[in-house]
């Protein structure tokens, strides 16, 4: 299987694309902003006054000796314009759009200024915008100036701030959407990894950037391999279980010809135990518990419980049934009977007095198998339901099984949408409660 | 009376020998076959009263063999299987096998089943054409090969082996009083577990399990004599 079915942009490519888009947007916004500023104009009167002042000041400062130029500049400073003489040009602060339109207006009034390399900027030191700029003198020093009165027309600080912020916010939103989209396949992968082993595996759809695709491909392959491996092992184990039955059959037939009845009985007991272990192993491994072949069919659960109790008491055990005479529920009858017999078998192994109780409520019914055995301490009950559980307590002695009984019951309960709960019984031992949803 | 002639089809030689020996010790004539062709030869060679058939044979499945045998003969068949799942049992019985025995089985159990199947066959043979093995009474249905009881509203009702056999005895003598002694005698020859529950206990359990809310179970006590199924029972 090819890891990459469709060529997409790599994760790297996508991130570069996102950055590129961001930069592009940012530039577009700036260009727009600066272009607008350069189109600002002032009224003719103001422009002429500024032009005259600049020409005059330029000449006066130029004529003064260098040592006095600062003084001349401060003398020329009026209520309207602030003048400073500088050896070289001080660059304007970064966000200072050029005012091309106003420059043209001034040059129209005083063409002489052209040779002075006039520069005009829009500056916003505080809340308001002012016009500032510089002109060059013949000896390559500069007079920079700024208008004292703020340009109301150009009072765009807030607008400009917004204009810078809006694209930035849009950019962040756009980028996060794009990144989220890029990372979505990774989330699918994460979910699939979390669900692995919990349900049937599903191939994660192949999408997203190249790198993510190849990870998904590798993950899917891994899922296939693990599933196949588990299936192989399960099959091998089940085959071993089957194969044990033949030598066990021979053994049982041979045991019949043993003269000593005590030895024969002991041997029969061992064979019986091995047989039960194989049965539980095969039941656990067969898919029948999770995907039963037998259909749901109405079954009299009450009679089933009573009969299980009757059969055990016919074999000489103290088992009684308490509950209604009839309770019909659509279930997988063979599976429920297996669950019931597993619970009863457990109770018989650990207790001497057993009660099978059936209770029915509006929403669920409960089959309880209670014994007077040692019970299971609360902190070990969860563990006891796990497959191959061996509890390190009184229950563990002579367990005579693989510890699969309760886990099989649990799976049968869940297959029916019910549950298995272990608790304290009224007889002093364990109470195993199999709950099924009522029809 | 000549002892019954049993043919055992089983591919594992030690099991074949051990089983044959055990059955011979119980007075049966036993011939064995390890493969399907050997089985057909043996069936042609001499009359056979019972077939013990292993489900897993090399080359063919015992289930297919059973189907083929059934086409020409109603010889009683007991399946032997190492699979032992409930579904296998049901498939086997539906194909017309008379009983099903899961490996590993003991000699006692095998002999009991063989005896029961032969006896049932001897009794039923006069009824000739093979029935589906169903008994219907009072809207209840008892499926003999599956040993399953279905209630009037279609629910599966599970009985113990002893209870089921007792019910069948009552149905076989429907609307006739059966003496307690006769019922005890009938239940003695019953196969399987060695329950010595009194007939009265079994009857009271049957009554409870066969009760329907608006009507009692159709089993009446005839004081001092015995019991009776007081509705007609029909074999299908």
SS3 A131: strand
Classify each residue of B130-156 as buried b or exposed e, where b means 16 or more C-beta atoms within 10 Å of its C-beta. Answer: eeebbbbbbebbbbbbbbbbbbeeebb
pLDDT of residue B206: 93
Cβ of A245 and B104 within 8 Å?
yes
Helix axes A44-63, A69-76, angle to 10 degrees: 160
Mutating which of A283, A292, A304, A307 best tests the B interface, going by the most B Cβ atoms within 10 A?
A: A307
With CA atoms as reference, the chain A residue closest to B161 would be A311
- Please list, in sequence order, all residues whose beta carbon lies within 8 angstroms of the beta carbon of residue B188, skipping any fewer than 6 positions away: none
Cβ of A253 and B158 within 8 Å?
no
Whether the pLDDT of residue B207 is over 90: the answer is yes
pLDDT of residue A145: 82
- pLDDT confidence band for A158 (50 / 70 / 90): low
In angstroms, the separation between the Cα of residue B156 and the nearest Cα of chain A is 4
Cβ of B104 and A303 within 8 Å?
no
Determine which of A14-28, A155-169, A399-413 has the lowest per-residue pLDDT on average.
A155-169
pLDDT of residue B196: 55
Report ipTM for this prediction: 0.74
In angstroms, the separation between the Cα of residue A344 and the nearest Cα of chain B is 15
CATH tag, A210-285: 1.10.287
Whether the pLDDT of residue A46 is over 70: the answer is yes
Reading the block at residue A151, the tokens are 């340009």
The fraction of chain B above a pLDDT of 90, given in percent, is 31
In angstroms, the separation between the Cα of residue A380 and the nearest Cα of chain B is 31
The Cα A67–Cα A70 span in angstroms is 7
In angstroms, the separation between the Cα of residue A270 and the nearest Cα of chain B is 12
Cβ of B82 and A245 within 8 Å?
yes
With CA atoms as reference, the chain B residue closest to A297 would be B155
Residue B157 sits at the chain A interface (C-beta within 8 Å)? yes
Q: Which of A214, A8, A208 is nearest to A222 (CA)?
A: A214
Cβ of A325 and B158 within 8 Å?
no
Cβ of B158 and A300 within 8 Å?
yes
> What are the chain B neighbours of A250 within 8 Å (beta carbons)?
12, 14-15, 18
Considering the domain delimited by A11-155, tell me its CATH architecture: 2-Layer Sandwich (3.30)
With contact defined as beta carbons under 8 Å apart, do A67 and A128 qualify?
A: no
Q: What is the 3-state secondary structure (H, E, C) of chain B?
A: CCCCEEEEECCCHHHHHHHHHHHHHCCCEEEEECCHHHHHHHHHHCCCCEEEEECECCCCEHHHHHHHHHHHCCCCEEEEECCCCHHHHHHHHHCCCCEEEECCCCHHHHHHHHHHHHHHHHHHHHHCCCCCCEEEECCEEEECCCCEEECCCCCEECCCHHHHHHHHHHHHCCCCCEEHHHHHHHHHCCCCCCCCCCHHHHHHHHHHHHCECCECCCEEEECCCEEEECCCEEEC
- Please list, in sequence order, all residues whose beta carbon lies within 8 angstroms of the beta carbon of residue B6, skipping any fewer than 6 positions away: B23, B28, B29, B30, B31, B48, B49, B50, B51, B52, B114
pLDDT of residue A362: 87
Residue showing tokens 């727009």: A32
The Cα B170–Cα A138 span in angstroms is 135
pLDDT of residue A398: 47
Helix axes B199-210, B161-172, angle to 10 degrees: 90
With contact defined as beta carbons under 8 Å apart, do A88 and A141 qualify?
A: yes
List the single residue in A249, A252, A294 with the smallest CB-CB distance to B87: A294
Interchain CB contacts (distance < 8 Å): A and B: 106
Model pLDDT for residues B135-191, shown as the tens digit of each residue: 999 899 998 877 889 999 899 999 988 888 889 889 988 899 998 888 877 766 554
With contact defined as beta carbons under 8 Å apart, do A415 and A290 qualify?
A: yes
Cross-strand partners of A144? A84, A134
Stronger pLDDT, B28 or A268, i.e. the higher one: B28
- pLDDT confidence band for A4 (50 / 70 / 90): very low
SS3 A30: helix
With contact defined as beta carbons under 8 Å apart, do A120 and A108 qualify?
A: no
Which residues of chain A form CATH 3.30.450?
11-155
- pLDDT confidence band for A237 (50 / 70 / 90): confident
Cβ of B107 and A288 within 8 Å?
no
Mean pLDDT, residues B36-48 taken together: 90
> What are the chain A neighbours of B208 within 8 Å (beta carbons)?
306, 325
pLDDT of residue B94: 73
Mean pLDDT, residues A192-201 taken together: 75
Model pLDDT for residues A332-350, shown as the tens digit of each residue: 988 899 899 999 998 998 8
Cβ of A249 and B160 within 8 Å?
no
The Cα A147–Cα A50 span in angstroms is 9
Mean pLDDT, residues A274-295 taken together: 77
Mutating which of A250, A283, A338 best tests the B interface, going by the most B Cβ atoms within 10 A?
A: A250
pLDDT of residue A303: 95
pLDDT of residue B7: 94
Which residues of chain A form CATH 1.10.287?
210-285
Residue B200 sits at the chain A interface (C-beta within 8 Å)? no
Return the CA Rg of chain A: 46
The Cα A373–Cα A121 span in angstroms is 95
Mean pLDDT (chain A) is 80
Return the CA Rg of chain B: 19
pLDDT of residue A51: 80
Cβ of B106 and A307 within 8 Å?
no
Which residues of chain A form CATH 3.30.565.10?
291-437
Q: Which fold has domain A291-437?
A: Heat Shock Protein 90 (3.30.565)
With contact defined as beta carbons under 8 Å apart, do B56 and B82 qualify?
A: yes
Q: What are the CB-based long-range contacts (under 8 Å, 24+) for A44-49?
A: A44/A105, A47/A102, A47/A105, A47/A106, A47/A108, A47/A109, A48/A109, A49/A80
Q: What share of chain A is helix, strand, coil (3-state, %, to 5)?
A: 55, 15, 30
The fraction of chain A above a pLDDT of 90, given in percent, is 20
pLDDT of residue A392: 57
With contact defined as beta carbons under 8 Å apart, do A333 and A294 qualify?
A: yes
Mean pLDDT (chain B) is 83
- Please list, in sequence order, all residues whose beta carbon lies within 8 angstroms of the beta carbon of residue A168, skipping any fewer than 6 positions away: A26
- Please list, in sequence order, all residues whose beta carbon lies within 8 angstroms of the beta carbon of residue B232, skipping any fewer than 6 positions away: B137, B174, B175
Whether the pLDDT of residue A311 is over 60: the answer is yes
- pLDDT confidence band for A9 (50 / 70 / 90): low
In angstroms, the separation between the Cα of residue A306 and the nearest Cα of chain B is 9
With CA atoms as reference, the chain A residue closest to B11 would be A246
Whether the pLDDT of residue B98 is over 80: the answer is yes
Whether the pLDDT of residue A322 is over 90: the answer is yes
Mean pLDDT, residues A384-410 taken together: 71
- pLDDT confidence band for B85 (50 / 70 / 90): low
Residue B40 sits at the chain A interface (C-beta within 8 Å)? no
Cβ of B103 and A325 within 8 Å?
no
> What are the chain A neighbours of B82 within 8 Å (beta carbons)?
242, 245-246, 249
> What are the chain A neighbours of B211 within 8 Å (beta carbons)?
325-326
> What are the chain B neighbours of A328 within 8 Å (beta carbons)?
151, 153, 155
Residue B215 sits at the chain A interface (C-beta within 8 Å)? no
The Cα A84–Cα A132 span in angstroms is 11
pTM, two decimal places: 0.62
pLDDT of residue A48: 79
Could you tell me where the DSSP H helices lie in A41-123? Answer: 44-63, 69-76, 100-109
With contact defined as beta carbons under 8 Å apart, do A290 and A411 qualify?
A: yes
The Cα B135–Cα B149 span in angstroms is 9
pLDDT of residue B194: 44
List the single residue in B105, B108, B158 with the smallest CB-CB distance to A249: B105
> What are the chain B neighbours of A310 within 8 Å (beta carbons)?
160, 163, 205
**Phi then psi for A20, rounded to 5 degrees?**
-60, -45
- Residues of A within an 8 Å Cβ radius of B: 242, 245-246, 248-257, 268, 271, 275, 279, 282, 286, 288, 293-294, 297-300, 303-304, 306-307, 310-311, 314-315, 325-326, 328, 333-334, 337
Q: Are strands B77-81 and B50-54 parallel, antiparallel or unpaired?
A: parallel
């Amino acid at each position: 299987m090819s890891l990459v079915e469709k060529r997409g942009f790599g994760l790297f490519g996508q991130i570069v694309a996102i950055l590129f888009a961001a930069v592009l947007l940012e530039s577009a916004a700036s260009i727009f902003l600066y272009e607008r500023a350069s189109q600002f104009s002032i009224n003719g009167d103001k422009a002429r006054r500024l032009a005259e002042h600049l020409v005059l000041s330029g000449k006066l400062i130029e004529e003064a000796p260098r040592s006095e130029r600062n003084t001349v500049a401060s003398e020329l400073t009026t209520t309207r314009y602030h003048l400073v003489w500088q050896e070289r040009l001080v660059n304007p602060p970064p966000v200072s759009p050029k005012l091309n339109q106003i420059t043209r207006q001034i040059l129209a009034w005083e063409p002489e200024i052209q040779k002075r390399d006039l520069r005009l900027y829009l500056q916003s030191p505080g809340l308001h915008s002012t016009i500032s700029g510089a002109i060059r003198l013949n000896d390559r020093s500069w007079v920079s100036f700024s208008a004292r009165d703020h340009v109301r027309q150009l009072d765009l600080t807030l607008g400009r701030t917004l204009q810078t912020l809006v694209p930035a916010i849009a950019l962040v939103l756009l980028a996060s959407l794009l990144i989220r989209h890029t990372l979505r396949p990774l989330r699918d992968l994460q979910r699939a990894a979390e669900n692995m082993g919990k349900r049937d595996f599903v191939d994660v759809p192949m999408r997203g950037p190249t790198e993510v695709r190849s990870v998904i491909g590798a993950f899917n392959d891994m899922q296939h391999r693990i599933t196949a491996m588990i299936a192989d092992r399960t099959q091998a184990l089940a085959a071993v279980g089957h194969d044990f039955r033949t030598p066990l059959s021979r053994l049982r037939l041979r045991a019949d010809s043993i003269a000593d009845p005590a030895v024969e009985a002991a041997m029969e007991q061992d064979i019986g135990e091995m047989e039960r272990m194989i049965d539980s192993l095969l039941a656990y491994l067969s898919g029948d518990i999770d995907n039963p072949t037998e259909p749901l069919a109405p079954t009299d659960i009450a009679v089933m419980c009573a009969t299980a109790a009757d059969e055990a008491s016919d074999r000489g055990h103290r088992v009684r049934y308490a509950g209604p005479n009839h309770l019909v529920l659509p279930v997988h009858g063979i599976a429920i009977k297996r669950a019931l017999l597993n619970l009863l078998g457990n109770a018989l192994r650990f207790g001497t007095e057993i009660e099978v109780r059936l209770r029915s409520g509006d929403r669920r019914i409960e089959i309880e198998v209670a014994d007077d055995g040692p019970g299971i301490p609360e902190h070990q009950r969860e563990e006891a339901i796990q497959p191959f559980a061996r509890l390190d307590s009184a229950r563990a002695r002579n367990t005579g099984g693989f510890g699969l009984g309760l886990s099989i019951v649990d799976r049968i309960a869940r297959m029916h949408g019910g549950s298995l709960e272990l608790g304290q019984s009224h007889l002093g031992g364990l109470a195993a409660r199999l709950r099924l949803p009522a029809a | 009376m000549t002892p019954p002639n049993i043919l055992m089809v089983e591919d594992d030689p030690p099991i074949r020998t051990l089983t044959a020996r055990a059955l011979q010790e119980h007075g049966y004539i036993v011939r064995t076959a390890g493969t399907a062709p050997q089985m057909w030869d043996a069936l042609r060679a001499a009359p056979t009263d019972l077939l013990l058939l292993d489900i897993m044979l090399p080359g063919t499945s015992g289930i297919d063999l059973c189907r083929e045998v059934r086409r020409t003969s109603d010889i009683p068949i007991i399946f032997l299987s190492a699979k032992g799942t409930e579904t296998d049992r049901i498939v086997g019985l539906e194909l017309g096998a008379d009983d099903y025995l899961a490996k590993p089985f003991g000699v006692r159990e095998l002999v009991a089943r063989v005896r029961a199947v032969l006896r049932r066959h001897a009794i039923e043979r006069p009824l000739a054409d093979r029935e589906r093995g169903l008994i219907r009474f009072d809207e209840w249905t008892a499926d003999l090969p599956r040993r399953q009881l279905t209630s009037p509203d279609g629910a599966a009702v599970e009985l113990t082996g002893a209870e089921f056999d007792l019910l069948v005895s009552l149905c076989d003598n429907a609307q006739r009083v059966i003496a307690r002694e006769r019922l005890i005698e009938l239940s003695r020859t019953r196969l399987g577990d060695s329950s010595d529950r009194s007939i009265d206990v079994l009857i009271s359990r049957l009554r409870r399990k066969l009760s329907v809310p608006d009507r009692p179970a159709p089993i009446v006590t005839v004081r001092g004599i015995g019991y009776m199924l007081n509705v007609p029972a029909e074999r299908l």
